[in-house]
């Protein structure tokens, strides 16, 4: 017992000594490292300026919105812009809360659908090669070359024939196909050795069990990246509301925001409400990006087959 106690004390002293030396090594920076650190700090502050501006812009009173030269920091912050945004729909039968509700429902469903379908498609292409698999994957990659405007008419015809106009399916289904998501998923799934899946089959694992318990943990970085991309595209999507929704109560918040200052006789009216709406549209994207960015960095650092 005494030897054990002495060993523990020595281990503790060695650990403390190593930590002190490690900290001392970190504090000893040369001039080049200080210069790089200073440059990166300035760059980080510069990249934060648009975020600071959009927050200050949403709380500016009307007279500050049109000052010249424009002010970066709000002088007299007010919440009147948000009150104006909410009061604009009081004279209509569709409140702004309905647009927000539609956007939340559509974004959640579309994001989940894009991640799931991309993972399933990539799993079939990566781990179950079938005749013509390379041709299918090449076709998916070629689809990245098409601009969205080319697909508007075919999408409209498909949605109309399916009879899902003025429904949440009309918002979600046109966005499910995600070639970038399939590409990223497949690249990560190719890292999983086929021998591991074969061993799992011998042990009695089902196909879904191998997909869920073996493959999906490896592609966590790709899932986080695809979730960010799909959330941003679904949250800011205006196309489905413009083309497939004639019912005003089925349209989303981004479409409502584009209609605030459209077809007005001047460029002054509703600018405060538009600034407040821009902040509301930006906040969820910022929160989701910051949350999943940490997941991506952590999983990228520790991912791989051990």
Q: HSE on the CB side for 288, CA within 13 Å?
A: 20
Task: Report the b/e string of 1-22 with b at 16+ CB within 10 A.
Answer: eeeeeeeeeeeeeeeeeeeeee
Mean pLDDT, rounded, of the chain: 80
Nearest to 241 by CA among 251, 256, 254: 251
CA dist 64 → 78, 131, 295 (Å): 11, 64, 39
* Average of per-residue pLDDT across 157-184: 89
For residues 63 and 165, what is the distance between their CA atoms, to the nearest angstrom?
A: 42
> Which residues are CB-contacts of 57 (< 8 A; sequence separation ≥ 6)?
65, 74, 275, 278, 279
- Could you report the per-residue pLDDT of 78-120, keeping only the tens digit for each? 888 888 877 776 666 778 888 889 999 999 999 999 999 999 9
Range with top average pLDDT, 107-116, 137-146, 178-187, 229-238:
107-116
Kindly give the residue spans of alpha helices, DSSP state H, lying in 190-252. Answer: 194-202, 207-210, 216-218, 220-235, 239-244
**CA 87 from centroid of its chain's CA atoms:** 30
**Angle (nearest 5°) at CA 189 between 188 and 192:** 105
Q: How many C-beta neighbours within 10 Å does residue 279 have?
A: 18
Whether the per-residue pLDDT at 18 is higher than 60: the answer is no
Q: How many CB atoms lie within 10 A of CB 224?
A: 20
Q: How far apart are alpha carbons 79 and 85 in whole angstroms?
A: 10
Whole-model pTM: value is 0.76
pLDDT digits (tens, 9 = 90+) for 242-273: 889 888 888 998 888 887 766 554 555 677 78
Name which residue leads in pLDDT, 17 or 275: 275
Q: Give the model confidence (pLDDT) of 199-241 as tens digits.
A: 888 888 888 888 888 888 888 888 888 888 889 889 988 888 8
CB 272 within 8 A of CB 84: yes
């Amino acid at each position: 017992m005494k030897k054990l106690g002495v060993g523990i004390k020595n281990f503790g002293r060695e650990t403390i000594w190593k930590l002190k030396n490690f900290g001392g090594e970190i504090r000893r920076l040369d001039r080049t490292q200080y210069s790089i650190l200073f440059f990166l700090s300035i760059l980080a502050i510069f990249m934060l300026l648009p975020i600071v501006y959009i927050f200050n812009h949403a709380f500016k009173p009307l007279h500050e919105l049109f000052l010249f030269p424009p002010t970066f920091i709000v002088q007299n912050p007010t919440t009147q812009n948000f009150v104006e945004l909410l009061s604009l729909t009081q004279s209509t039968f569709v409140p702004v809360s309905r647009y927000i509700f539609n956007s939340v429902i559509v974004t959640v469903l579309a994001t989940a659908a894009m991640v799931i379908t991309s993972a399933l498609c990539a799993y079939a292409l990566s781990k179950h090669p079938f005749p013509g698999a390379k041709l299918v994957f090449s076709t998916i990659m070629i689809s990245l070359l098409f601009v969205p405007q080319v697909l508007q008419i075919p999408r409209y015809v498909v949605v109309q024939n399916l009879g899902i106009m003025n429904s949440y399916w009309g918002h979600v289904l046109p966005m499910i196909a995600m070639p970038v998501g399939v590409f990223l998923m497949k690249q990560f799934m190719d890292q999983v050795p086929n021998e591991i899946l074969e061993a799992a089959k011998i042990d009695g694992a089902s196909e879904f069990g191998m997909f869920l318990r073996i493959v999906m943990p490896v592609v966590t970085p790709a899932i986080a990246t695809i979730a960010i991309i799909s959330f941003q595209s679904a949250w800011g999507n205006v196309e489905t509301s413009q083309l497939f929704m004639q019912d005003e109560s089925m349209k989303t918040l981004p479409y409502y925001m584009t209609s605030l200052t459209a077809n007005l006789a001047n460029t002054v009216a509703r600018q405060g409400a538009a600034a407040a709406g821009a902040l509301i549209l930006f906040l969820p994207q910022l929160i989701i990006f910051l949350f999943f960015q940490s997941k991506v960095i952590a999983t990228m650092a520790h991912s791989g087959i051990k």
